[in-house]
A and B are shown apart, each in its own frame.
Chain A
Amino acid sequence: MDFYLTALLQGLCFSAIALGIYISMKIFNIPDITTDGSYTLGGVVTAKLLMHGQPVYMILPTVILAGALAGALTGLIHTKLKINALLAGILVMTALYSVNLTLMGRSNIPLNSISTLFSLINIAADPNHNTFWILLVFVAVVTLIIGYLLKTDFGIAMRATGNSESMIRSLGVNTDRMKITGLALANALTALSGFLITQFQGFADINMGIGIVIVGLGSVIIAETLINWLRITSVWLSLVLVLSGAVIFQLVLAITLSIGVDANLLKLVTAVFVLLIVSLPRLSFKSSL
């Protein structure tokens, strides 16, 4: 049972990344690969500052800012230099690897016996339950903020930017600035996942971000399948489904491991799983014709 609880906790940690990918991919229609770098950046900044005895309430805004900077950089390269978004993201991600390594000074920072977000408050006796409640509140607050933001005039303009650029420009929105802001927001959320995971697993590692974009992507695609299937138009429900997507994704991976699949094959299984979710609706649609 603990095994699945851990998966649930990881899913909650990854829900910020899922929200980030939802914003960049679904709202702005931009495939953003900066994710791998900004996630690690979030983790690295967290570990480094924790080691220096900084309090969590100081670390949190720093992580958000660091992630936002990385995203804004991708946005600037994409909009101002007119470079393909995919390439812009890859460039920033590659550069971030060196930045992260320089910040860390070595390839791994363990956080043994350092107090983290999860040891800050004691609600439940069992440490896992305690983590669960803290994560749940944290994720709920983040979701509320994003949900509210998407409902505001600014949020509507943001959603329209990815949907009909000619329209939103004629309605007075600087789409370049909007895309830069959106990518900053998406990567700030991604860095938040790095912040959570680093404290949850108790270390930051230079390679923790490799392939992490697929986790966000998979979560969003699960959510999207459900959104289309249930014909959901509400912003709030969509966000809740994105969170569920992140948890479902981790649970499926946990189940895969528990039935005895070699852990070395985990990334392969992940890729196949994402492929399955993407293709299943199309396959079943074809056979019904």
Chain B
Amino acid sequence: MIELKKVHKTFNRGKANQVDAINGVDLNVNEKEFLVIVGSNGSGKTTLLNLVAGSVLPSSGSIHIDENEVTKLPDYRRSQWIARVFQNPLSGTAPDLSILDNFRLAAIRTKAKGLSVGVDDQFKKLVKEKIASLGMGLENKTEQPMGTLSGGQRQALTLLMSVMDSCKLLLLDEPTAALDPRSAELVMKTADKLIKDFELTAILVTHNLKDAFHYGNRIILMAEGKIVKDLDEVQKTAIKQNDLFAWFG
């Protein structure tokens, strides 16, 4: 599904503040795999995610998604495969637009944004049904601006938006970092359910080792721009939560 070969990413090359964020990463993510990436700050996990998403382009190496070479493809052209949830709830939604308009854009993520009005009664009904499935009582607020919702509500809706259009790969960049424990749990449960229901391939970057332990069927540890540990499903189920904490010891 995703294939990274000898990927390097250097910021500010040749300057005093040069940073080698990614140092030769080889990574294969299979279809329907739910990969969790952990690592301390500056280990390169967010850069790795951005390289897959296309918002950062690699200095060298190659990236393939679904057997298509996407190394130089910008983020807005990789949206045909990828849906994203950002760390900041503000980044994944447009606050001044209504919930409906946000969902409309998500529903045509892989398509052209044309000159026809797409928010019709049928679409409104569809969005209401989808939102009702979250059980957060937001289904009657679809005309409200997205900005009037709390961070947790917005993250949950962003997750839902990602499956409004065909989605092969879901990227979750510390989706719960800005949330309170209860909202965080709700968002992670929603994500897990959607990933299972829609059989998505997913990558989760997280600092929360409890989440890293509970969710996903593969885990990698990053340090100094390299993958230093890589546990598959069998190995991941075998380890204990304390082993994860020991990685950061």
A275 neighbours in B (Cβ, 8 Å):
none
A172 neighbours in B (Cβ, 8 Å):
76-77, 79-80, 108-111, 113
Contact of B143 among A149, A152, A233 (CB under 8 A): A233
Asked if B75 is an interface residue, CB under 8 A from chain A, the answer is: yes
A154 touches B105 (CB 8 A): no
B92 neighbours in A (Cβ, 8 Å):
164, 166-167, 170
| Chain A contact surface mostly | helix
Tell me which of A30-38, A60-68, A78-86, A155-163 binds B.
Answer: A155-163
* CA of A167 to CA of B55, assembled, Å: 11
B114 touches A171 (CB 8 A): no
Q: How many residues of chain B are within 8 Å of chain A by beta carbon?
A: 39
What are 7 sample pairs from A and B whose C-beta atoms fall under 8 A apart?
A: A152-B118, A160-B97, A160-B105, A167-B86, A167-B94, A169-B55, A170-B79
Most buried by B among A154, A171, A172: A171
Asked if B142 is an interface residue, CB under 8 A from chain A, the answer is: no
A163 touches B77 (CB 8 A): no
Asked if A175 is an interface residue, CB under 8 A from chain B, the answer is: yes
Contact of B106 among A151, A169, A171, A175 (CB under 8 A): A171
B115 touches A233 (CB 8 A): no
Given A153-B116, A172-B110, A233-B145, A164-B93 contact (CB < 8 Å): yes
B79 touches A159 (CB 8 A): no
Contact with A along B106-135 (1 / 0, CB 8 A): 101111011111110000000000000000
Asked if A98 is an interface residue, CB under 8 A from chain B, the answer is: no
B97 to chain A, nearest CB (A): 6
Asked if A94 is an interface residue, CB under 8 A from chain B, the answer is: no
Sorted from nearest, which 3 A-B pairs have the closest CB atoms? A172-B79, A163-B94, A157-B113
A170 touches B104 (CB 8 A): no
Apart from A164-B93, A233-B98, 10 more pairs, CB < 8 Å? A152-B118, A154-B113, A156-B104, A156-B119, A159-B94, A166-B86, A168-B105, A170-B75, A171-B108, A172-B76
Contact of A151 among B75, B95, B117, B143 (CB under 8 A): B117
Contact with B along A235-257 (1 / 0, CB 8 A): 00000000000000000000000
A26 to chain B, nearest CB (A): 9
Asked if A173 is an interface residue, CB under 8 A from chain B, the answer is: yes
B94 neighbours in A (Cβ, 8 Å):
159-160, 163-164, 167-168
Contact of B108 among A148, A153, A163, A233 (CB under 8 A): A153
Interface residues on A, range: 20 to 34
A170 touches B53 (CB 8 A): yes
**Interfacial residues of chain A within 171-189, with CB under 8 A of chain B in the complex:** 171-175
Given A153-B108, A156-B113, A233-B143, A174-B95 contact (CB < 8 Å): no
A148 neighbours in B (Cβ, 8 Å):
117
B117 neighbours in A (Cβ, 8 Å):
148, 151-153
Asked if B101 is an interface residue, CB under 8 A from chain A, the answer is: yes
**Interfacial residues of chain B within 221-236, with CB under 8 A of chain A in the complex:** none
A175 touches B145 (CB 8 A): no
Contact with B along A133-153 (1 / 0, CB 8 A): 000000000000000110111
* CA of A233 to CA of B148, assembled, Å: 12
* CA of A113 to CA of B110, assembled, Å: 56
B211 to chain A, nearest CB (A): 22
A156 touches B101 (CB 8 A): yes
A149 neighbours in B (Cβ, 8 Å):
115
* CA of A283 to CA of B117, assembled, Å: 40
B96 neighbours in A (Cβ, 8 Å):
159, 163
A170 touches B83 (CB 8 A): yes
Given A166-B86, A169-B75, A171-B79, A154-B97 contact (CB < 8 Å): no
Contact of A159 among B74, B101, B106, B115 (CB under 8 A): B101
Most buried by A among B80, B90, B96: B96
* CA of A124 to CA of B79, assembled, Å: 56
B104 touches A153 (CB 8 A): yes
* CA of A83 to CA of B63, assembled, Å: 31
Asked if B208 is an interface residue, CB under 8 A from chain A, the answer is: no
* CA of A151 to CA of B104, assembled, Å: 11
A160 neighbours in B (Cβ, 8 Å):
94, 97, 101-102, 105
Asked if B82 is an interface residue, CB under 8 A from chain A, the answer is: yes
B57 to chain A, nearest CB (A): 13
B31 to chain A, nearest CB (A): 21
**Interfacial residues of chain B within 38-92, with CB under 8 A of chain A in the complex:** 53, 55, 74-77, 79-80, 82-84, 86, 90-92
* CA of A164 to CA of B92, assembled, Å: 8
* CA of A151 to CA of B115, assembled, Å: 9
B46 to chain A, nearest CB (A): 13
Contact with B along A48-83 (1 / 0, CB 8 A): 000000000000000000000000000000000000
